[in-house]
Amino acid sequence: MDVTTLTYIFVGLSFSLYIGIAFWSKANSTNDFYVAGKGVNPIANGMATAADWMSAASFISMAGLIAFLGKDGSVYLMGWTGGYVVLALLLAPYLRKFGKFTVPDFIGERYYSKAARLVAVICLIFVSFTYVAGQMRGVGIVFSRFLEVDINIGVIIGMIIVFFYAVLGGMKGITYTQVAQYCVLIFAYLVPAIFISILITGNPVPQLGFGDTLVGTDVYLLDKLDQVTRDLGFNAYTENIKSNIDIFCITAALMFGTAGLPHVIVRFFTVPRVKDARKSAGYALIFIAILYTTAPAVAAFARVNFIESIQDTSYESSPAWFKNWENTGLIAWQDKNNDGIIQYSAGSAIEGRPQYTPERGSEGQRLLSNKSNDLNDNEVYIDRDIMVLANPEIAKLPAWVIALVAAGGLAAALSTAAGLLLVISSSISHDLLKKTFKPNISERQELFYARCAAAVAIFIAGLFGIYPPAFVAQVVAFAFGLAASTFFPALFMGIFSKRLNKEGAIAGMVSGLIFTLTYIIYFKFLYTEFNSADYWFLSISPEGIGFVGMIINFIVAISISSITNPPPKEVIEMVEVIREP
């Protein structure tokens, strides 16, 4: 069977599984819909959290990013796992004890203010929508490359599936589909990684193979990679390019952002007891670490394989994947010296993203209308997003492995999208309607509004997938900076300080948001020509600025609180109660 047929079978099977679970776990109350009746087993919740957390970015993009960033890519590995330590120790158990439905719920009640709740809802919607847009693009990429359908049809199919289980099942449906999705995605990630590890190093465990010698030699993989990257004019793979302070801030922004992401926090509201919330964070990190410790190995293997399979080969005899991805528009070849041979080295081959002309060149390659970059000899443009998806093809693995990876990528994107859509819908039906504007609605009505809000959110997310704003990929990384600079301080101080009051919390969140957003917009959208270390504040890149925003939030919140009245007695009592297990 060919790859496309197999992919249809794998994707079809996994999708019917998800829909089946949706019917089986239909939500009957708001409690079911928002927090799965608080009856989820901690191990199952750990898996669901892991699937919720590991998005298209983790599954599809991360290893590719690391493959090209080398050691600088560690920020994602440490940032996106270390955040769970912060979450498990400082937030999850206490927020579970608080025992309500949403993150704005906690902020609204702890800071006894509808305004605080509203600020939290606005931050939440902003963070979650930027994030969900990235997922839908992931769905589109997988569909267009592997099922050879139009990206838009792919996005619509994805929307229908998510609609089914998110609108019908709410959190309950989402939780149990996420458990299934975790199994699909981790299997799909590990199988090719293990195969490739055996092929390259002879060691079946990618985490160890990564530090092993190449088959048939006594040269370590990483030493070889350092040498190859250096020879081609790149920095050595295992050395940093970014400054230490920037790496420090990016890692911190990702960690505290992770701990402050509403769709992750809310997963800890679904377990029966405080004890289970702690346990569940531990299991979640194990399940996540299985992928996150494999990813850097995949990255190193992919970089070696990629260079070896195309460097100095003629286009005519280049592997099929090279031409397939060229057809999808994610690889391009500009034959600068007209010798018909692919030369890959440091520097960007062309200016900007490839713009293809309808013609083909003498070798059959797609011609580009971009200006070629004459400062270097590199002839290859490659979109980093394709490395994980192309890796099995590059390593010449069997067709079923390639099909499996497609199903895994979809599972990763859909599970995260569903989790995000749920927090968006519950913040609208619960925080905006029930708690702010229409307090008199019955539970049945609230559930109805929650379903409507989920449906509308899915529709908007789909539009993002079909008409992706050009900046989606960048914005997803900034969602973390925004979460770190708004939510984390308000949640942390809400538990660990009895003195922080509503004035302080609101001023802190607003100043963190404005500072971080302004910095990002200034460098990333308005004055991109100044976006370099020379102009950055303390040489901190926009990716890491959320950490500074978080510190500003803390300083503002504490100083405003100290000159205004302390919180009322009931609130202090509430803090005492959530501190007990």
Partner 1 sequence: MQLNKDGYWKENIKILVSLLSVWFLVSFGFGILLSDWLDQFQLGGFKLGFWFAQQGSIYIFIILIFIYIHLLNKLDKKYFGDRDSGDDN
| 497 contacts partner 1 (rule: CB under 8 A) | no
- To partner 1, the closest distance from the beta carbon of 531 in angstroms equals 22
Determine the interface stretch with partner 1 among 105-113, 141-149, 274-282, 366-374 (rule: CB under 8 A): 274-282
Q: Give the Cα separation of 568 and 573 in Å (integer).
A: 9
Point out which residues pair with 333 in neighbouring strands: 380
At residue 39, the 3 state secondary structure works out as: coil
Q: If you ran DSSP here, which 8-state letter would residue 203 be given?
A: -
Of residues 17, 19, 43, 85, which one binds partner 1 by CB under 8 A?
85
| 513 contacts partner 1 (rule: CB under 8 A) | no
- The token pair at 295 is 């990813």
At residue 411, the 3 state secondary structure works out as: helix
Cα separation of the two ends of the chain: 56
- To partner 1, the closest distance from the beta carbon of 387 in angstroms equals 16
Give the interface size with partner 1 as a residue count (CB under 8 A). Answer: 54
| 285 contacts partner 1 (rule: CB under 8 A) | yes
* Contacts of residue 281, Cβ cutoff 8 Å, sequence gap at least 6: 46, 49, 84, 87, 88, 92, 268
Contact 201, 209 (CB under 8 A): yes
| 489 contacts partner 1 (rule: CB under 8 A) | no
| 274 contacts partner 1 (rule: CB under 8 A) | yes
- To partner 1, the closest distance from the beta carbon of 111 in angstroms equals 21
Contact 172, 37 (CB under 8 A): yes
Determine the interface stretch with partner 1 among 136-144, 289-297, 346-354, 424-432 (rule: CB under 8 A): 289-297
Cα three-residue angle 147-149-153, rounded to 5 degrees: 120
| 539 contacts partner 1 (rule: CB under 8 A) | no
The sign of the dihedral angle between the CA atoms of 29, 33, 38, 44 is: positive
Of residues 107, 247, 341, 472, which one binds partner 1 by CB under 8 A?
247
Point out which residues pair with 309 in neighbouring strands: none
| 50 contacts partner 1 (rule: CB under 8 A) | no
Q: If you ran DSSP here, which 8-state letter would residue 38 be given?
A: G
Nearer to partner 1, 398 or 581 (CB): 581
- To partner 1, the closest distance from the beta carbon of 55 in angstroms equals 18
Amino acid code (one letter) for 578: I
| Phi-psi sector, 313: left (phi>0), alpha (psi -120 to 50), beta | beta
| 230 contacts partner 1 (rule: CB under 8 A) | no
- To partner 1, the closest distance from the beta carbon of 360 in angstroms equals 41
Q: Give the Cα separation of 254 and 73 in Å (integer).
A: 12
| Phi-psi sector, 256: left (phi>0), alpha (psi -120 to 50), beta | alpha
Determine the interface stretch with partner 1 among 49-57, 203-211, 410-418, 556-564 (rule: CB under 8 A): 203-211
Give how far the C-alpha of residue 373 lies from the chain's centroid of Cα atoms, to the nearest Å: 32
Of residues 212, 431, 446, 503, which one binds partner 1 by CB under 8 A?
212
| 292 contacts partner 1 (rule: CB under 8 A) | yes
Tokens 């409690």, residue located: 31
* Contacts of residue 186, Cβ cutoff 8 Å, sequence gap at least 6: 287, 290, 291, 408
Nearer to partner 1, 97 or 230 (CB): 97
- To partner 1, the closest distance from the beta carbon of 93 in angstroms equals 8
User: Mask of contacts with partner 1, 293-332, x by CB under 8 A?
Assistant: x--x------------------------------------
Q: If you ran DSSP here, which 8-state letter would residue 371 be given?
A: P
| 213 contacts partner 1 (rule: CB under 8 A) | yes
Subset of residues 87 to 116 that bind partner 1, contact rule: CB under 8 A? 88-90, 93, 97, 99
| 275 contacts partner 1 (rule: CB under 8 A) | yes
Of residues 121, 281, 483, 513, which one binds partner 1 by CB under 8 A?
281
- To partner 1, the closest distance from the beta carbon of 222 in angstroms equals 6
Q: Give the Cα separation of 507 and 496 in Å (integer).
A: 18
Footprint on this chain of partner 1 (rule: CB under 8 A): 31, 66, 71, 73-74, 77-78, 81-82, 84-86, 88-90, 93, 97, 99, 207-208, 210-213, 220-223, 238, 240, 244, 247-248, 251-252, 255, 272-275, 278-279, 281-282, 285-286, 289, 292-293, 296, 576, 579-581
